[in-house]
A = this chain, B = another copy of it.
Amino acid sequence: MRLGFTEEQDELRAGVRRLLAERAAPDRLRAATEAAEPYDTDLWKMMARDLGLHAMAIPEEYGGAGYGFREQSVVLEEMGRTLLRSPYLSTVVVAAAALLHGDDEEARARWLPRIAAGEVVATLAHAEPGVGWRAGRPRAVAVRDGAGWQVGGAKSHVVDGAEAGLLLVSAAAGQDGRDLVLLAVDPGHPGVTVTELPALDTTRRLASVTLDGVPAQAVATGERARRLLDRVLDVAVTGLACEQAGAAARALEMTVEYAKVRHQFGVPIGSFQAVQFTCADMLLHLEAARSAAYYAAAAIDRDDEDAPIAAAVAKAVCSDAGMAIAAEMVQIHGGIGYTWEHDAHLYFKRAASSAGLFGDADLYRERVATLAGV
């Protein structure tokens, strides 16, 4: 497995960075997060149309360009750098993977071209209040209804849920609720209530969803649904890990820059060994995060047999690294890093929310232990 980037991938990175530098610079980010607008729809369209970021990893038969997860990982890393508030991860990475690797050809043909064209926001609705992030048995319940299904329950922490035109909902089914089913649900149906949740991290939108007797189409059922859900969550945490690595890289850059110019006691604070060593440790964390994220992205891309454990490692490593780096970013910036005005708190809160989303480092270490045969 190669963990370098191709020239094409390097160009993609440069293109995304250029666009985001222009359109999602910190002042725009701040304006966006404090605005009522859920995300920058102009930028969304530019990304889809001008750079083709949405179509990238979707097969050509569904209107995509047929590249893979490694290309998406480059995009996610760049989005992480600027803390871009965008439904890209939820829609183009997670929801598209659920459709692509599911069993419903009709859903694929219906939704993937729209996702590729940047015409719809879609998201996974799996987490539930009081149920573990990777729990295999949701409290939401689905029952057969003719050719389709009917689903009821409550979902939480649905990323970009309030903007979604398609929800992919997990539910228990069958006798004693032992089966799993992953369903495509139209949030426009009257039985669906989507409520925006006020998030600690203002750069990522969350919603809760309640479902009351809502008609749905199965994307996968039974053991296949279980495997699909695992795979989709592996994709989700790997995508998140790439974002985390990008955010951490930018946080370290900003901190090193500040340590070079901020003077106290007549010298730049970056000449104090304490600051030097802290920055060196931040770099250790960052490189670990990058290695873990790149490896997992490559494993997902190739659908390698160690993709699940690589994804779990990436989530654990990048969550710890992200928190450590963002925390030291605030500390080294001193008072100014504690203000609302400075961007440090946005990196800190993003690090905290990414560390928690889809389950924390402890949960994924336990998963690593299990998958590694401890």
**B-contacting residues of A (Cβ < 8 Å)?**
272-274, 277
Instruction: Compute how far the CA of A277 lies from the CA of B273 in the bound complex, rounded to whole angstroms.
Output: 10
Contacts A/B (CB < 8 Å), 6 sampled: A272-B273, A273-B273, A273-B274, A273-B277, A274-B274, A274-B277
* Chain B residues in 8 Å Cβ range of A274: 273-274, 277
- Shortest CB-to-CB span from A259 to chain B, Å, is 14
Instruction: Compute how far the CA of A272 lies from the CA of B276 in the bound complex, rounded to whole angstroms.
Output: 12
* Chain B residues in 8 Å Cβ range of A277: 273-274
- Shortest CB-to-CB span from A283 to chain B, Å, is 16
Instruction: Compute how far the CA of A277 lies from the CA of B277 in the bound complex, rounded to whole angstroms.
Output: 11
Closest to A275 in B: B273
Integer count of this chain's copies in the complex: 2
Instruction: Compute how far the CA of A343 lies from the CA of B165 in the bound complex, rounded to whole angstroms.
Output: 70
- Shortest CB-to-CB span from A273 to chain B, Å, is 4
- Shortest CB-to-CB span from A258 to chain B, Å, is 18
Pairs of residues from A and B, 6 with the lowest C-beta to C-beta distance, nearest first: A273-B273, A273-B274, A274-B277, A272-B273, A274-B274, A273-B277
Instruction: Compute how far the CA of A346 lies from the CA of B43 in the bound complex, rounded to whole angstroms.
Output: 64
Instruction: Compute how far the CA of A272 lies from the CA of B271 in the bound complex, rounded to whole angstroms.
Output: 12
Closest to A271 in B: B273
Instruction: Compute how far the CA of A272 lies from the CA of B272 in the bound complex, rounded to whole angstroms.
Output: 9
* Chain B residues in 8 Å Cβ range of A272: 273
Closest to A274 in B: B273
Instruction: Compute how far the CA of A277 lies from the CA of B274 in the bound complex, rounded to whole angstroms.
Output: 8
Instruction: Compute how far the CA of A272 lies from the CA of B273 in the bound complex, rounded to whole angstroms.
Output: 7
* Chain B residues in 8 Å Cβ range of A273: 272-274, 277
- Shortest CB-to-CB span from A113 to chain B, Å, is 54
- Shortest CB-to-CB span from A278 to chain B, Å, is 10
Closest to A277 in B: B274
Instruction: Compute how far the CA of A138 lies from the CA of B273 in the bound complex, rounded to whole angstroms.
Output: 53
- Shortest CB-to-CB span from A269 to chain B, Å, is 11
- Shortest CB-to-CB span from A180 to chain B, Å, is 34
Instruction: Compute how far the CA of A274 lies from the CA of B273 in the bound complex, rounded to whole angstroms.
Output: 6
Instruction: Compute how far the CA of A60 lies from the CA of B272 in the bound complex, rounded to whole angstroms.
Output: 60
Instruction: Compute how far the CA of A142 lies from the CA of B112 in the bound complex, rounded to whole angstroms.
Output: 74
- Shortest CB-to-CB span from A128 to chain B, Å, is 26
Instruction: Compute how far the CA of A107 lies from the CA of B18 in the bound complex, rounded to whole angstroms.
Output: 85
- Shortest CB-to-CB span from A284 to chain B, Å, is 15
Closest to A273 in B: B273
Instruction: Compute how far the CA of A70 lies from the CA of B277 in the bound complex, rounded to whole angstroms.
Output: 42
Instruction: Compute how far the CA of A215 lies from the CA of B272 in the bound complex, rounded to whole angstroms.
Output: 68
Instruction: Compute how far the CA of A84 lies from the CA of B20 in the bound complex, rounded to whole angstroms.
Output: 66
- Shortest CB-to-CB span from A317 to chain B, Å, is 23
Instruction: Compute how far the CA of A272 lies from the CA of B277 in the bound complex, rounded to whole angstroms.
Output: 11
Instruction: Compute how far the CA of A33 lies from the CA of B274 in the bound complex, rounded to whole angstroms.
Output: 39
Instruction: Compute how far the CA of A355 lies from the CA of B274 in the bound complex, rounded to whole angstroms.
Output: 29
- Shortest CB-to-CB span from A272 to chain B, Å, is 6
Closest to A272 in B: B273
